[in-house]
Amino acid sequence: VTLFVNYLSQALPLNGRTAGAISDSFPTRFTPAGYVFSIWSIIYLGLIAYAIYQALPSQRANPQLRAVTWPFIVSCMANSAWIFAWHFGYYTLALLLTTLLTLALVALYTRLYPYFSTVSTAERWTTHIPFRIYLGWATVATIANATVTLYDLGWHGAPLTAATWAAILLVVATAIGLFFAIGLRDAAYTLVLVWAFVGIYVKQTDAPVTAYTALVMAGVLAIAALFALIWRQRTVAY
């Protein structure tokens, strides 16, 4: 259902506008270039891989997969509902739904995390890594949605400029990314932030404080992700 709703949102598109076009209609600075949103293709391919893998007869009694059933269902419901809220201009509701999506993915993440180094390569690539990528993008989307919601409610960032606020949010997001990279040794999550930050740099070149902060933070996170990969190599063959 989630995949079908997302397809309709772009193919129709819902309410006559794509998700990217809606983002572009707000003069907020925490918005990446349009190509960055292609990450949804990777996310949905990962979700399809997960759906197939968990349905295999050999996995029906897998306790780790059974433990994430409800967080996964909640994430699908929140994602589908967000699409309608976003496309029809209910931005505060959309923010609440992206927050719910992120919390559901955090719950899912924490249930899977202890087993990352011990599961099979197939399970790692069809379950753990797809959801790490998904959570990384949900983090970016929630921050971006918050900037749109605040603007829609009439708060435009005074006394700071939109570019300065975006730079601050980039630093905050980088701190979160460093926690995942260094604290949890999670390169997949961190690289999603790198992808988004480079896209923000590309999109916001007319706002140097935002663009260069995005570029520097992307570099910091890329280095952290590299260290996360090296650390993980000691226990897991990627």
The model's pLDDT over 120-131, given as tens digits with 9 standing for 90+, comes to 999 999 999 999
- Inter-axis angle of helices 162-178 and 129-152, to 10 degrees? 160
Return d(Cα 204, Cα 212) in angstroms, integer.
Answer: 9
pTM: 0.92
The model's pLDDT over 157-192, given as tens digits with 9 standing for 90+, comes to 888 999 999 999 999 999 999 999 999 999 999 999
The runs of H, that is alpha helices, within 113-186 are 121-123, 129-152, 162-178
Do the domain assignments include residue 19? yes
Return d(Cα 200, Cα 197) in angstroms, integer.
Answer: 5
Do the domain assignments include residue 113? yes
Q: How many domains does the chain have?
A: 1
Do the domain assignments include residue 148? yes
Domain that holds residue 212: 2-233
Do the domain assignments include residue 238? no
Do the domain assignments include residue 193? yes
Do the domain assignments include residue 25? yes
What pLDDT is recorded for position 237?
Answer: 46
